[in-house]
Chain A
Amino acid sequence: MASDQSFDPRFDPTFQRGFDAMAAGSMAAGPLEAAPVLPIVEGSGRVEQVGRVPVERAVVERAEALFVREPGPSLRGNPWIRVLWMTALLLAAAGAAAQYFAQRITYAPTAPTAAIEYVVPAMLSALSPWLFAVGLATGVATMVIHALRWYPGD
């Protein structure tokens, strides 16, 4: 015989497959009205009974574990987030400044040394895209971290 818990709780077990009338003598004999369908988990509250059938605590806890998101570690007080924002700003600003000064030196009317005329602008021009791109990517990654770790209580 199937246990009572295998029956659909919304309907009378008398009319469901596998019901044993002798074994279920203690159950109510009269016809049952259709029970309202209740959600197993409503927000954070616990449901102790669905229709007329009590719900075991373990079932409720398993359902809550499935549907209720556990908050992860918060970013509150995380010093590395500040470091990430500062790094992103510094790298992006350094990239923009490197490009600006490379152009300025290249088109300057006078050049005191070959290093300033040729080497410095070439290095700045070569490194500025990396600096700018890594700075932007770091900023975007930091924003994504904020979004993923955001909770209503934060």
Chain B
Amino acid sequence: MRPSRIGAFVGGGLLLLGGALLGVSAAEYLSSPQPLDSFSGNVVFTVNGRLVQYPSWAPDAPTVLLVGAGLVVLAVSLILTALAWGPRRDRVY
């Protein structure tokens, strides 16, 4: 298998894995609102007729790193593909 294709698979896999982990983390966060204890500071939302609040949220650094690494590997595989491309008769891989 060509290196550029391997890079595309690895990059796509990292991107999908990172995206899935981000989605799971966000879904867990959104499904666990906290009961309203005061009106100071937090934004108040209504969920099923109840007033709730959410603490602030940030994605995990390793998860974001997975997505970023996937982007980098995909870009590198694209560059390799462009470098390896040649006219059909003398294509070099």
Interface residues of A, Cβ cutoff 8 Å to B:
73, 77-81, 83-84, 87, 91, 111, 113-115, 117-119, 122-123, 126-127, 130-131, 134, 137-138, 141-142, 145
Instruction: Count A-B pairs with CB separation below 8 Å.
Output: 78
Query: Distance in Å from the Cβ of A129 to the closest Cβ of chain B?
Result: 8
Q: How far is the CB of B92 from chain A (nearest CB, A)?
A: 7
Q: A87-B75, A130-B64 are in contact. Are A115 and B82 (CB under 8 A)?
A: no
Tell me which of A78, A113, A127, A134 contacts B64 (CB under 8 A).
Answer: A127
Are A77 and B87 touching (Cβ within 8 A)? yes
Residues of B in contact (CB 8 Å), total 28
Q: A78-B85, A83-B82 are in contact. Are A115 and B30 (CB under 8 A)?
A: yes
Q: Is the Cβ of B79 less than 8 Å from the Cβ of A84? A: yes
Q: Are A87 and B78 in contact (CB under 8 A)?
A: yes
Contacting pair A130 B68 (CB below 8 A): yes
> What mask results when residues 59 to 88 of chain B are scored 1 for a CB within 8 Å of chain A, else 0?
100001001100110010011011101110
- Cα A79 to Cα B88 in complex, Å, equals 13
Q: With a CB–CB cut-off of 8 A, which chain A residues contact B81?
A: 80
